[in-house]
Amino acid sequence: MTSTIIKHSICKTSLALVTSAVFMFPMFTWSAENCDNPVNDFDGLYCLTKVYLQADKELNNSYNQLSKKLNSKQRATLKRGQLAWLRERNDRCSYHDDENGFFVNMGCATRVTTHRVNFLNERVRECNAGSCRDSRLGE
């Protein structure tokens, strides 16, 4: 069940990102050089999406790095914490309206994801120092 929640969250986020990218494809060249002054909301979304995708990549790397340092019980605790975090991120930064569709606040998603990356990196540092605190893994 927990992997179903992760897959569902990933699918919803991926669908929103891919849909955004498809509509913005003609503007890729322009936006790549002008994120300081986007001309319209689509250009701004493109820039925000680029930053979010980098944060998401860092999140996956940090999670995997930490997971490799843990035993199976600790990994299960970390996974529960990560699933709870995914639900919280989705609740805070997105919503679905049957009439108008699915919406993601990319600025919010990036901030929350970056915060989680920092949290995971702190756990990696603790484990590297030989003091992996099980009590923090489920957060």
- Adjacent-strand bridge partners of 104: 94
Looking at residue 41, its pLDDT comes to: 84
Looking at residue 39, its pLDDT comes to: 85
Helices (H) and strands (E) in the chain, counts: 6, 2
Percent of the residues in the chain that have a pLDDT greater than 70, as a whole number: 76
Looking at residue 5, its pLDDT comes to: 56
The DSSP line for 36-86 is TS-SSHHHHHHHHHHHHHHHHHHHHHHHHHHHHTS-HHHHHHHHHHHHHHH
Region 103-117: mean pLDDT is 95
Query: Cα separation of 65 and 48, whole Å?
Result: 26
Query: Cα separation of 122 and 112, whole Å?
Result: 15
Residue 72 tokens read as 């199976």
- Residue 27 or residue 43, greater confidence: 43
Exposure of 28 by Cβ count < 10 A (0-12 exposed, 13-18 middle, 19+ buried)?
exposed
The confidence band for 132, taking pLDDT boundaries of 50, 70 and 90, is confident
Looking at residue 13, its pLDDT comes to: 57
Asked if the model's pLDDT at residue 26 lies above 80, the reply is: no
Mean pLDDT of the residues in the chain = 83
Asked if the model's pLDDT at residue 118 lies above 90, the reply is: yes
Looking at residue 8, its pLDDT comes to: 56
CA dihedral 73, 75, 81, 84 (to 10 degrees): -100
The DSSP letter of residue 27 is G
Lowest mean pLDDT among 98-102, 107-111, 119-123: 98-102
Region 96-124: mean pLDDT is 94
- Residue 128 or residue 15, greater confidence: 128
